[in-house]
Structure 1
Amino acid sequence: MLWRSVVFKLWLTIILLVAFVLMILTVLLLEFFENYYVEEAEKNLMNQAENVSVVIDEHEEKTLTMDTIDQLLAPQTRVTVFFNEHQYWQNEFDEAQIPAIEPSWFVGNDQINEVFNSQQPVKKITDIPNSNSEIIIVGVPTVDEQGAIYIYQSLDVVAETTTKATRLILLAATIAIILTTIFAFFLSSRITAPLIKMRKVAGELSRGEFQTKVPVLTHDEIGELAISFNRMRRQLNYHITALNQEKSQLSSILKSMADGVITVNNQLGVMLINPPAEQFLAQLNFEDIDHDFSLPLDLRDDFKYVIENEEEFTKEVVAQGRNFVLVLTPLYIEGKARGAVGIIRDMTEERQLDKLRKDFLANVSHELRTPISMMQGYSEAIVDDIAESKEEKQELARIIYDESLRMGRLVNELLDLARMEAGHISIQKEPVSVKPYVERIIKKFHTIMEEQNIKLEKKIPIDLTYSFDPDRIEQVLTNLIDNALRHTPKDGKLSVIIEEVNQEMFVHIQDNGSGIPEEDLPFIFERFYKSDKARTRNGKKKGTGLGLSIAKHIVEAHGGTIYAKSKESEGTTFIFTIPLK
């Protein structure tokens, strides 16, 4: 709005000030000129009256005297000469310009009649009888003090002169107002232009734009203000930039942290939270459809306890099957707890690793206990001469030897698996012609397949050549084919199918055995996991439970994947891939 701007206010202030001064000056000037013209008229009339008195005294002939007086009088002036109180003379005049006054009025008016009574001059402004006109009247005694001379004229003459002066004064005042308006607008615009620019720059600063500078046009206070404003802009830009960098750095640190961070104030309002903490709250509030990351009631109580007691608090929380450790610490501002900081650490993997470690020790102990017990029992039988014949002793020694071999295989597989999990597996790739390579591995199982009358189906491309570690992949194929044969009934079927799809070699080992239960499929590649516990009690089909875990590490070391598809009573298919690159 124009009337709210500084330019308008400054312009209006100057105009009002000048107008007020001019108004007072005009009134004073008008009063001065009016008084001045009245005094000048009185002086002029007094001079004319004195001249008439001199003429009357010097001339004795009445006619000549009257003619001379007519010539001495100014226009619009009338004279009445009293030779005594009963004899008088008046000059000729235009009654349209000045009304006539009866001579008796001069004699009857006590204030005018002072000339006769005290022989003193009289000056007066009065109304004409029976008229609204005002006149200036001057009276002087004659030289011989026997009569009186009255000269008067209408105030309209003075008013006309005053009106002309008033017009000139008003014209001058109007011109002064106009010039003052132009000057005030120019001055206010000149003065407020830097202020308007500062306002614009301040608006840009409020929107976060710090590049615009205020031009320094003068070297006065406004120029110094512009210099200070630019200095403030630079400092503000520097500090805002530094704060944004610190905020961005803090945000990046919080987002990149694996642990969750929650900061609350003393009203338990969340001030700061990072993505892991949001996931933690989402798991705690999984029943809340709004997912507003609000603190649960028990967590609010924990934060309140930390703030009120100003001491650290630690607890473990279980949410959606995951274990979290929550560490709450008071947040001090100026020596007083103004909030709290919560660190949330997901301990699920550590708990699982701890469980796996315990299970691993239990499984290893269980797998080693059986062969050790058998070796101990049969060796005691030999020591105690329970086996009398040589054949019986050889049979016991053979059992002890087989169990020792089994225990050695278990230890070697554990060592291989430990090296693989530690990342120390060595892969020596070389081009391999797939068909003869796979046929050589299958040939090792011909005897078993003939004994159980298992039918073999092979689909292997003739000209397929891939680069991989032949010893490691042979270990995988041997393990998968051995598993398939051990779980395939007599007169069953085993299929080995190899194909290339999208520059990947797919290897399918399929049997029509009893299959793997659906609930066991996700865990078959874990160490010591056996899906069919009853079946593995059969000595001929007993395994260590490490083969599939080793196979998985070998395939993944080649950049491939391994998985299984199975349906109970219909069979199982293991599939692993090896990429060309």
Structure 2
Amino acid sequence: MFWRSVVVKLWFTILLFFSFVLITLTILLLQFFENFHEAEAEEELMQAANKVSNIVEAHPDRNLITSTIEQVMDPSKRVVIIFNEDDYWISSSEDEQLESIDVDWFYSNEDFMKVLNHEDSIHKKTQPPNSSNELLIVGQPLEGEQGAVFVYESLTIVKETTSQTTTLIFLAAGIAIVLTTFFAFFLSTRITAPLIKMRKAALELAKGEFHTKVPILTKDEIGELAIAFNRMGRQLKYHIQALNQEKEQLASILSSMADGVITLSRNGEMIVTNPPADRFLDFMSYENGEKETQTIPGELKTTLDQVISTEKEVMKEITLQGRSFVVIMSPLYDQVYIRGAVAVIRDMTEERQLDKLRKDFIANVSHELRTPISMFQGYSEAIVDDVAESKQEKNELAQIIYDESLRMGRLVNDLLDLARMEAGHIQLNVHEVELEPFLNKVLNKFKGIADEKQVSIQPNFHFEDQVVQFDSDRIEQVLTNLIDNAIRHNSENGVVEITVQSTEDHLQFSVKDSGGGIPEEDLPFVFERFYKGDKSRAKKKGSSGTGLGLAIAKNIVEAHKGVIDVHSKQNEGTSFIFFLPKNIKL
């Protein structure tokens, strides 16, 4: 974490750069001063050699020459004057480490022989035999005479001078590095302090705090960056608010649409759905016996594959639970690449059944009224024509006519009630109801008919609220109709399960039987007028209903702002489910 810091990286970069420059400069200075001191020493020795050569040429007296040289020469150096191999003079020196050199060594060296032969002067670093001391020697031929002058000194003196200079250079370099360290750290903190604040502000922006602003401390590029960052935060806040508004608007549009909409990814994952689409998927899951998943069912997956392969809109009709759905699926493009598809699902059941319902309504009313009218006519003629001779027979015929008139009256009253409900004229008497006694009262009415049909009624109650609000008479009418149908259309030794459970906002009522079920093609019509499971319309004992009960039940539930639905499979049974809100606002 320490080495990831911008401050450390910038500080280390500046320090490394200055250190590299200082080290390079130090090496060059050391090399320069070493060469400079050696050149100065050579120049000094050469001047001393010229001076000795001039003294030798100016004074013929050897004693005067040696005494003069001893006086004018630096005692740290030695002077060798060679007139010939046997005639030479070597000066003394205060430097104990500076040894006297044997003259024969000069004659054994080719470079020094050039000086002795008056061919050239020389300056040279060398180490005499049997000596550990390195010397700097210069040689100058004597003009006008045979021989040469050699002046030499120990390189230790030059190295000491160079060492002092090196010490000063390293001291200066160390001070420069220390100052550079503080300067680099100060500069890096000044530069990165606004960046650190921008980093904190960026993290706040990532958390959704769009009001965060970076203080503008300077007017340089970093200050301009802070201004741009603040402007970016304002623009980001504006655009995100606009996106949220568009998203909410789109969600509202999708929720309010009557048609189902499903947005699909390329691999079949559902991205967006609306309530009608969820209802369609529930139908499909129930039909296929599948659990709810995030991937689309097989039929829609096949349609999606067809859309992706053909890159064209595909329309398909699907029948589920007796309802007809038309699915129109179109490709969604990401520029030129198909990234998925959008499916629009329309429930066409009602439209396709309108004509059939109009025709069936006239036929059903005619049939329901014709039967009692025919019986009125036939039995009344029997009485008028004295076919029934005895009083008992006439009373039996009159009783049949009376029963049929009651049946016709119930039919007419149900039609009138249904017409008033569908016109919105139903009046509800909503009041507080103790739920458990109410349910027990309803179930007790069916003990006799259930025992007669050998059907078992199984209550299954799960609710926390003991007191709820609804119109008890109307809801009793709904439950009576559903339970009566479940018993009458059940098989012997069958089961009718009545389930009541509460959720946070609703009460759920379910009446499930184990009978033969409702054919799939009849499911869309169970809540229509005059629907009967007995297609032959043959009158059976205990099954002479008007066919209006479920239509009335639906209107009562919807008047309570509730929803009623049916699920059925042949030879498995039928389930009627309706929901009532806990807080009914009429």
Quickly name the TM-score band, shorter chain normalised: 0.5 to 0.7
Q: Deviations over 1:253-291 (max 9, x none)?
A: 334545432223454443322344334324323355642
Aligned partners of 2:85 and 2:104 also within 8 Å:
no
Report the equivalent of 1:109: 109
Q: Helix, strand or coil for the counterpart of 1:86?
A: coil
Q: What amino acid does structure 2 have at the position aligned with 1:89?
A: W
Q: Report matched runs for 1:442-481 at 5 Å.
A: none
- Structure 1 residues 303 and 553, CA gap change in structure 2 (3 angstroms): closer
- Structure 1 residues 413 and 174, CA gap change in structure 2 (3 angstroms): closer
- Structure 1 residues 193 and 75, CA gap change in structure 2 (3 angstroms): farther
The CA distance in 1 between the partners of 2:545 and 2:322, in whole Å, is 33
Q: What amino acid does structure 2 have at the position aligned with 1:161?
A: T
Q: Deviations over 1:150-187 (max 9, x none)?
A: 22111111111111111212222222222223323333
The CA distance in 2 between the partners of 1:215 and 1:340, in whole Å, is 47
Shift of 1:131: 1.9
Aligned partners of 1:324 and 1:344 also within 8 Å:
no
Aligned partners of 1:265 and 1:338 also within 8 Å:
yes
- Structure 1 residues 503 and 269, CA gap change in structure 2 (3 angstroms): closer
Report the equivalent of 2:297: 296
Report the equivalent of 1:342: 343
Report the equivalent of 2:317: 315
Shift of 1:63: 4.8
**Which residue, out of 519, 526, 535, partners 2:487?**
519
Q: Helix, strand or coil for the counterpart of 2:212?
A: coil
Aligned partners of 1:76 and 1:97 also within 8 Å:
no
The CA distance in 2 between the partners of 1:235 and 1:156, in whole Å, is 76
Report the equivalent of 2:39: 39
Q: Helix, strand or coil for the counterpart of 2:79?
A: strand
- Structure 1 residues 263 and 503, CA gap change in structure 2 (3 angstroms): closer
Q: Deviations over 1:123-170 (max 9, x none)?
A: 332222322322122333456535533221111111111111112122
- Structure 1 residues 273 and 313, CA gap change in structure 2 (3 angstroms): same
Report the equivalent of 1:158: 158
Report the equivalent of 1:251: 251
Q: What do you get for the CA RMSD once the two structures are aligned?
A: 5.4
Aligned partners of 1:98 and 1:153 also within 8 Å:
yes
The CA distance in 2 between the partners of 1:503 and 1:222, in whole Å, is 68
Shift of 1:70: 2.2
The CA distance in 1 between the partners of 2:52 and 2:556, in whole Å, is 150
Shift of 1:365: 1.9
The CA distance in 2 between the partners of 1:534 and 1:116, in whole Å, is 156
Aligned partners of 1:79 and 1:149 also within 8 Å:
yes
Structure 1 gap segments, 5+ residues each: 388-394, 430-465, 467-486, 488-500, 510-514, 560-578
Report the equivalent of 1:132: 132
The CA distance in 1 between the partners of 2:315 and 2:471, in whole Å, is 55
Q: What amino acid does structure 2 have at the position aligned with 1:317?
A: T
The CA distance in 2 between the partners of 1:330 and 1:552, in whole Å, is 36
- Structure 1 residues 405 and 301, CA gap change in structure 2 (3 angstroms): closer
TM-score (norm 2): 0.63
Would you say how many aligned residue pairs link Structure 1 and Structure 2?
Answer: 472
Aligned partners of 1:259 and 1:344 also within 8 Å:
yes
Matched, 1:331 2:299: no
Aligned partners of 1:213 and 1:230 also within 8 Å:
yes
Aligned partners of 1:330 and 1:337 also within 8 Å:
no
The CA distance in 2 between the partners of 1:301 and 1:41, in whole Å, is 100
Q: Helix, strand or coil for the counterpart of 2:101?
A: coil
The CA distance in 1 between the partners of 2:550 and 2:189, in whole Å, is 89
Structure 2 gap segments, 5+ residues each: 387-393, 432-448, 450-466, 478-482, 490-510, 514-526, 562-583
Shift of 1:77: 0.8
- Structure 1 residues 343 and 205, CA gap change in structure 2 (3 angstroms): same
Aligned partners of 1:328 and 1:340 also within 8 Å:
no
Structure 1 range deviating more: 152-161 or 406-415:
406-415
Report the equivalent of 1:213: 213
Report the equivalent of 1:463: none
The CA distance in 1 between the partners of 2:406 and 2:487, in whole Å, is 33
- Structure 1 residues 361 and 164, CA gap change in structure 2 (3 angstroms): same
Structure 1 range deviating more: 226-235 or 527-536:
527-536
Report the equivalent of 1:229: 229
Aligned partners of 1:306 and 1:313 also within 8 Å:
no
The CA distance in 1 between the partners of 2:201 and 2:32, in whole Å, is 54
- Structure 1 residues 84 and 427, CA gap change in structure 2 (3 angstroms): closer
Aligned partners of 2:306 and 2:314 also within 8 Å:
no
The CA distance in 1 between the partners of 2:24 and 2:545, in whole Å, is 121
Q: Helix, strand or coil for the counterpart of 2:124?
A: strand
- Structure 1 residues 155 and 374, CA gap change in structure 2 (3 angstroms): closer
Shift of 1:118: 1.7
- Structure 1 residues 377 and 167, CA gap change in structure 2 (3 angstroms): same
Q: What amino acid does structure 1 have at the position aligned with 2:296?
A: L
The CA distance in 2 between the partners of 1:281 and 1:543, in whole Å, is 34
Shift of 1:9: 4.2
- Structure 1 residues 369 and 72, CA gap change in structure 2 (3 angstroms): same
Structure 1 range deviating more: 7-16 or 56-65:
56-65
Report the equivalent of 1:23: 23
Q: What amino acid does structure 1 have at the position aligned with 2:137?
A: I
Shift of 1:98: 0.5
Q: Deviations over 1:499-518 (max 9, x none)?
A: xx999998999xxxxx9786
Identity %, equivalent residues? 53
Q: Deviations over 1:360-399 (max 9, x none)?
A: 5445323433565578789999xxx999xxxxxxx9xx99
Q: What amino acid does structure 1 have at the position aligned with 2:425?
A: H
Aligned partners of 1:310 and 1:337 also within 8 Å:
no
Bigger radius of gyration, 1 or 2? 1
- Structure 1 residues 228 and 346, CA gap change in structure 2 (3 angstroms): same
TM-score (norm 1): 0.63
Report the equivalent of 1:423: 424
- Structure 1 residues 30 and 194, CA gap change in structure 2 (3 angstroms): same
